Amino acid sequence: MTKPRTRSYSRYTLEALRLMGMLVRAGRAEKRMTAQELANRAGISRDFLHRIEKGDPRCELGVVFEVA
């Protein structure tokens, strides 16, 4: 049996992810870091960082916490 390709998330989960992304972005701005600087520091791509900041639920939780 194959795994489903799409997963549904509760509105609470999506809101929490959005809030976490907003906090990451706010913290980055407060420290006056560019997206590229933070991405380099976390060892991820700038695109992946943008996905975290947008609250993409497909981002790995460990990476999200490392960035935060």
Q: What is the pLDDT of residues 18-60, one digit of tens each?
A: 999 999 999 999 999 999 999 999 999 999 999 999 999 999 9
* pLDDT, tens only, 17-29: 999 999 999 999 9
pTM: 0.85
Cβ contacts of residue 20 below 8 Å, gap of 6+? 52, 55, 64, 68
